[in-house]
Amino acid sequence: MRFLPVLLLSAAAAAQAAPNEALKPMAFLAGHCWKGEFPGGKQTDEHCFQWLLDGHALRDTHTVRAPGKPDYVGETLYYYDSAAGQVAYLYVENSGGHSRGTMKPSDTGLDFPETRFIAGGKELPYRAHWTTAPDAYEAVNEMYLKDKWVTQFKMLLRKQ
C-alpha cells in the first residue's frame, strides 16, 4: 500500500512528459481533435492527436466521413529520426495505402515536403503545408499530376 502513491505519481509524470524537442512545433495538436469540411461540404475530416511513448511520438488518427459511405481511416505516427536529424512520419490507411515522409516547421506552420503515397502498386507524389492559427489550422494538400503541382484541397480544421 505504501508504494501506491509512488506509482500514481510516476503515472502522472509519464502522462505529462514533455515532447521530444523536435516534435514541439506539433505540441499544440496533442490532446485534441480537429475537424474540417472538404470543399463542397459533403465530407468531413477529423484528426485526433495524442502523445505516445513519453513524448517520443505523436499519433494522428484521422477519419473521413461521407454520408452513405464507409469511413476512410488513417493513422500517422510522427517521431524524431535521430539518424536523419528530422521529424519523420509513417502513414497507413484502411485501404492498404501508405506513405513515409518528413515534417519541417516553418514561419507560418508545418511543412510536409514532397513524398509518395503508395496504394495498389501505384505512387502519387504529394506535399502539404499546415498554416497554424489559434484553435485552428489550414491544411493545403497538393499532388503532382501531368508534370505540375495541383491543389488537391484546402481545409480549415478547428479544435473540437
| Tens-digit pLDDT string for the chain (160 aa) | 555 444 444 444 444 567 899 999 999 999 999 999 998 889 999 999 999 999 999 999 999 999 999 999 999 999 999 999 999 999 999 999 999 999 999 999 999 999 999 999 999 999 999 999 989 999 999 999 999 999 999 999 999 9
Q: For 136, how many CA atoms within 13 A lie in the half-sphere containing its CB?
A: 7
Q: Which domain holds residue 147?
A: 4-159
CATH of the domain at 44: 2.40.128.20
> In the chain, how many domains are there?
1
- CA 148 to centroid of chain Cα atoms: 25
